[in-house]
Chain A
Amino acid sequence: MKLLRSFLLVSCLVFSLATIHATTVIPPTFDRLVSDAEMIFEGTVTALKSEWTGQGNDRHIVTYVTFKIEDPIKGAPGAEYTIRMFGGTVDGHTMEATDTPRFKVGDRDILFVENNGKQFVPLVGIMHGRFRVKQDEVNAPESISKDNGAHVSNLAKLGTDEKAASSGQALSKADFKAAIREKLAEKAATK
């Protein structure tokens, strides 16, 4: 019994040391990503526009990122949806918040959007609310990766162990979207 207690204690310690979080953002779990997002969709970036906004001390640059909606998963984004991001470049003047995702035309993403227009980066968990769609080879199934490029293999580990979430075979886009819809259905059923 004593040995078992020691094992459990060591296990708890190992788990707790592995439960690490981003410096600026505590990464959300998959459950939180789905539940906190007001809108989830797959889309392709079609336009970017940066401009100054605000007055006096609040004057800053924002960038509007417009997506063509390929697949609305939660909420009703319509055929096109634009998010407002803090930062960008106007006339050679750049404002940048570190740790925030950067988009370019043609990017294909699955986004978990919250507080668009009210939050400096309107994604659940900032960079953790963006999943990139990629296809490594022609005819290969599309897979997803996090904003930092790491692939996603274990959704249960998101937000608790980011390394474990990326170890193993990459999740396909189809499986990822199916998991989101399954989670949404679970939540709807428990309401």
Chain B
Amino acid sequence: MEIMSRFGLLHLSPKALSLPICFRYKLPAMRRAVIAITLVVAALSTTAHAYVLQGPRWPSGTVLVLQLGLGSANRTLQDGNTSWDTAVEPVAEMWNQSFGRVRISNVFNPQAPVSQSDRINSVVFTNSIFGQSFGSGTLAVTFYTSSGSNMLEADTLFNRAAVFDSYRGPLQFIPHGVAIADIRRVFLHELGHSLGLGHPDQGGQRVTAVMNSIVSNQEELSSDDMAGGQYLYGAPVAPTPTPTPTPTAPPGGAAGHLANISTRMKVGSGQNVLIGGFIIQGSQPKTLILRAIGPSLVASGVLNVLANPVLELRDSAGVLVASNNDWQDTQASQIQQSGIAPTNALESAMLKTLAPGSYTAVVSGYDGGQGNGLIEAYEMDANSTRMVNISTRGRVGTADEPMIGGLIVQGGVTKRVIIRALGPSLAGGSSPVLGILADPILELRDGSGNLLAVNDDWGGSTQVNDILATTIPPVNALESAVVASLNAGNYTAIVRGLDNTSGVALVEVFDLDP
């Protein structure tokens, strides 16, 4: 039986690895010595990377949801926080900025459980580790479970008996010399372990790093820490807001309202086509432009695009209202004049004035084609009739195929909305959907890609009371919801599957304002 080594792989930068190449040639002894000394000095004076890998890592595309259950500090900490959870909250984003293929999200959950097999990544204070004591002097322990090379779960347990604070700047010490444990610094290190990094100094390296086994004045990720993160999970990429052109501003529209919805995802066939739904509420008709985009997504860096989208608009009874294959087939001049005509002739669009009611826009591939596509709806007028609910159903893929819903809020006041990500509940009802996404995770980001909110299971959210108050909480405990008051701007709602799972999901936005 083999015990897995914590430090199974020592990775050095190409600069360090290049040293032996310099000794391919036979040189006189003295000259060899001079060159050797020069190379060693050069190597020491540069920032050679020395990060150490523990072995397992999270699969690409994973959303590593941390359930923060540290609770109240019952006092004001040095950095002004009164909760341990808010004190450590920024740590996830500090790591997120250093790599791209995995995202870390926080969820506040006062009841975060500690179990090795629940696949919940808990961060909690405890009195013991599975009934075993910490031992004196132990501040925190991170343990993980893995199968093969895949990380499955990582929990960080802080010793309830230890003394913590939260502060910035150099390490602080109590008068007789013992350091005051800065919980954020400790968690920054522990989360590095959760990601798969070990201690460079215990691999015999000498670099500045949060991941060194000795805590120091280093309170931010060093270049070596970030290089380790990138080795595991690739370079960071700018978040990909849904590529939505700005719609024409409606004249005189001061009140906040949802002006646009767009969703990008892989368009399949059968039940995996992309279905956008919206409700028009008011006393007057509403003029919209609907677009189905595929080929032009390449310009935004999207791969495997839907080559030739087809767009259908149906009313609440399922009756076909209109359809379009290529936008120039009909209404070409009107769509061109709107300023938001598709840029590729194979894409679809339609300009429609619709009576209040519920509608669905279905995007499929011409002749059964599949690929990443985008559905969009733009308000083209500014009367009092509004789109109050906009939703998209489709298949959430793994890795680089999440469902990305975009919305634009226009007007001078904030717009209060609830965003829901549904999966399990789609399997019920009169039209059950097969292959549903079992456990969706929902992220809300602003137009710059900054994370505004994240939720795994809505019942575990700190917003649970707000969600219940909307009267439209998800019906399944594994589904997700976020309530937000949004200023004018662009937003994206990203739906992924827990543990990189895939399936059919629905993301929807409800306007909560009267």
Contact = CB atoms under 8 A, between A and B. Distances in A.
Interface stretch (A23-31, A69-77, A134-142, A182-190): A23-31
A86 interface: yes
B415 interface: no
Among A22, A56, A87: residue with most chain B CB under 10 A: A22
Contact of B135 (A50, A89, A121): A121
A149 B202 contact: yes
B3 interface: yes
Interface in A5-22: 15-17, 19-22
A25 B129 contact: no
Contacts of A104: 3
Contacts of B141: 24, 97-99, 120
A86 B202 CA distance: 20
A59 B328 CA distance: 63
B177 A98 contact: no
B139 A26 contact: yes
A81 to B, nearest CB: 18
B214 A120 contact: no
B131 interface: yes
Contacts of A26: 137-139, 178-179
A56 B135 CA distance: 24
Contacts of B215: 20-23
Interface in B131-184: 131-148, 170-171, 173, 177-179
Contacts of A24: 138-142, 186, 189-190
Interface string B201-231: 1101000000001111100000000000000
Contacts of A124: 135-136
A16 B56 contact: no
Contacts of B56: 94
Nearest to B194: A98
Among B137, B190, B193, B216: residue with most chain A CB under 10 A: B137
Among B130, B133, B142: residue with most chain A CB under 10 A: B130
A23 B182 CA distance: 10
A120 B199 contact: no
B177 A125 contact: no
Contacts of B190: 23-24, 98
Interface residues of B, number: 55
Interface in A72-111: 86-90, 92-100, 102-104
Contact of A98 (B136, B143, B179): B143
Contacts of B411: none
A25 B215 CA distance: 10
B114 interface: yes
Contact of A93 (B114, B147, B202): B147
B145 A94 contact: yes
B47 to A, nearest CB: 20
A167 interface: no
A23 B54 contact: no
Contact of A148 (B117, B186, B213): B213
Among A88, A121, A162: residue with most chain B CB under 10 A: A121
A88 B3 contact: yes
* Band of interface residues on A: 35 or more
Nearest to B201: A148
Given A59-B116, A89-B1, A94-B56, A126 B6 contact: no
Given A20-B216, A25-B139, A48 B202 contact: no
Contacts of A94: 4, 56, 145-147
A115 B131 CA distance: 13
Contacts of A96: 4, 6, 54, 143-146
Interface in A35-88: 36, 48-50, 54, 56-60, 63, 86-88
A20 B135 contact: no
B63 to A, nearest CB: 22
A54 B4 contact: no
A27 B135 CA distance: 11
B115 interface: yes
A119 B213 contact: no
Nearest to A16: B173
Contacts of B3: 48, 50, 63, 88-89, 102-104
A148 B2 CA distance: 20
A32 B177 CA distance: 15
A93 B117 CA distance: 11
Contacts of B216: 20
Nearest to A163: B214
Given A97-B143, A126-B137, 6 more contacts: A20-B216, A23-B190, A90-B1, A92-B147, A114-B135, A125-B137
Interface of B: 1-6, 54, 56, 113-118, 129-148, 170-171, 173, 177-179, 185-186, 189-190, 193, 198-199, 201-202, 204, 213-217
25 contacts: A17-B170, A20-B216, A23-B185, A23-B215, A58-B115, A63-B3, A86-B143, A88-B3, A89-B2, A92-B148, A93-B147, A96-B145, A98-B6, A98-B54, A98-B141, A99-B199, A115-B133, A119-B133, A119-B135, A120-B130, A122-B135, A124-B136, A125-B137, A160-B177, A162-B214
